[in-house]
Amino acid sequence: MNKKVAFYTLGCKLNFSETSTIARSFEKEDFERVDFSQKADIYVINTCSVTENADKRFKTIVKQAQKNNPEAFVAAIGCYAQLKPEELAAVDGVDLVLGATEKFKLTDYLNDLSKNDKGEVHSCEIEDADFYVGSYAIGDRTRAFLKVQDGCDYKCTYCTIPLARGISRSDTLENVLHNAREIASKDIKEIVLTGVNIGDYGKGEFGNKKHEHTFLDLVKALDTVEGIHRLRISSIEPNLLKNETIDFVAESTAFVPHFHIPLQSGSDEILKQMRRRYLTNLYVDRVKRIKETMPHACIGVDVIVGFPGETDEHFLETYHFLNELDISYLHVFTYSERDNTLAAEMGSPVPKNIRSKRSKMLRGLSVKKRRAFYESQLGSERTVLFEGENKSGYIHGFTENYVKVKAPWNPDLVNTLHKVTLSSIDEDGLVRFEFVPDNIMA
């Protein structure tokens, strides 16, 4: 009987792509992958350190694994495992903790699957995380997350990612294209480019700071890969999103008109405290450029509330800035203190209840923004890629510009592209549509 392994991923698209790659290394060792809710011999938890909540969830997930099989071997990998290995090792039921450089060698540590009294730790000094491991996630999705870059050289005062993932480094263009072709051969219709700071692509391509290629080179090369119908840029820093990239996406048939651009604050004073590499005027300029070249483009925004020293005036500056900006939705993060960051040592912390209130206000604004964007798209003809899950009798899908649609469940639609006319917004906020005759594309 093959041994069984189950995975649980916390956090970002990058973590999902790495979990998938690690899972494939288990398959090569003749392990059978099962769902995390099932009985397995090994449970692997890929951790995240970005939010306080992710830290707390880890213990709950370990308990779930133990409930499924009290004798199972439990391994923790990922960002939180790099930052706080001893803390994770001390959690009851955890047998192995692997840091940033060791996680891709997980199968090498599994000669003995007997339970340990205390978790065994193998974590490196983060300076040693200077090599690149390419990865991508496929399987249960109609899209693939393709990792093109890892690590970050920025020094934002609130962020632990450089401590958890090391310096900025990139995959070679040749390997990215190889992975993209491999994904295309599996009938995956959409690739989402992912990394920690993907606009920095190219840096570290040769294991040092030298590089031959830029993010624009990457985008142009991927646009030529046959068999991929859609390419989506996940999240890109405003200072690294150049006019040439925006203009190329506007003309491309494969790259879709959807950008996710971190802002973090609409107050220049707070942006300086955060050590971000732009001010609000540059952000406005990026949004305008996108909307001039692609009026129907979807623009998502990351924003942090409750940063140390954020007064009511600073927050209202952010609120009004976002309210007036032609954007489509927000990802709102409530600031939480992180060890070994400059922000954690700053004075004037914002009380938790005020952080929560501000977060709620921005989430309300996001609902309003998304609704207005969806309304602006009604009557237009778009292409939908349908997903594979039956959600309460409905199938969902996304247009190229990230409008979420719904229709009664039909398994024949899964992983197919169809031309539709967007017709109305349902009470749950999703969009209904009419099929355009002879609409099947792939």
Q: What is the pLDDT of residues 359-378, one digit of tens each?
A: 999 999 999 999 999 999 99
Between 85 and 177, the higher pLDDT residue: 177
Taking the C-alpha atoms of residue 122 and residue 97, their distance in angstroms, rounded to an integer, is 6
pTM: 0.85
Averaged pLDDT score across all residues of the chain: 89
Distances in whole angstroms, Cα of residue 159 to Cα of each of 10, 164, 196, 343:
17, 10, 12, 9
- What is the percent of the chain where pLDDT is above 70? 90
Closest C-alpha among 71, 181, 163, 174 to residue 123:
163
Burial letters 331-349, b for 16+ CB under 10 A, else e: bbbbbbebeebbbeeeeeb
The residue ranges of every structural domain in the chain are 4-125, 130-256, 259-376, 378-435
Q: What is the pLDDT at residue 99?
A: 81
Q: Which two tokens stand for residue 162?
A: 């450089």
Summarize the confidence of residues 169-189 as an average pLDDT: 91
Across residues 407-418, what is the average pLDDT?
A: 94
Q: What fold does the segment set 378-435 form as a domain? A: OB fold (Dihydrolipoamide Acetyltransferase, E2P) (2.40.50)
Q: At the topology level of CATH, where does 4-125 sit?
A: Rossmann fold (3.40.50)
> Over 80: is that where the pLDDT of 300 sits?
yes
Residue pLDDT, tens place only, 180-225: 999 999 889 999 999 989 999 988 766 556 678 899 999 999 999 9
Q: Report pLDDT for 38.
A: 93
Cα–Cα distance measured from residue 433 to residue 184, given in angstroms and rounded to the nearest whole number:
28
Percentage of the chain surpassing pLDDT 90?
63
Lowest mean pLDDT among 126-140, 185-199, 397-411, 424-438: 126-140
Say what the pLDDT of residue 224 is. 94
H/E element, 34: strand 32-34
Element (H, E) at 20: helix 13-28
21, pLDDT greater than 90: no
378-435 and 130-256 share a CATH fold: no
Q: Please check the confidence at residue 318 and state whether its pLDDT lies above 70.
A: yes
- The CATH number of domain 259-376, selected from 3.40.1190.20, 3.90.79.10, 3.30.1280.10, 3.30.750.200: 3.30.750.200
Q: What is the mean pLDDT of residues 3-18?
A: 87
pLDDT digits over 93-150, tens only? 899 999 877 888 888 877 655 656 566 777 655 555 555 666 777 755 688 999 999 8
Reported as a single tens digit per residue, the pLDDT across 261-291 is 999 999 999 999 999 999 999 999 999 999 9
C-alpha distances out from residue 119 to 62, 93, 96, 289, Å: 12, 8, 5, 51
Classified by CATH at the fold level, domain 130-256 comes out as: Transcription Regulator spoIIAA (3.30.750)
∠ CA 231-302-176, nearest 5°, is 30
Pairing of the two strands 298-305 and 258-264? parallel
pLDDT per residue as tens digits for the range 24-81 = 888 888 899 999 999 999 999 998 876 666 667 888 999 999 999 999 999 999 888 8
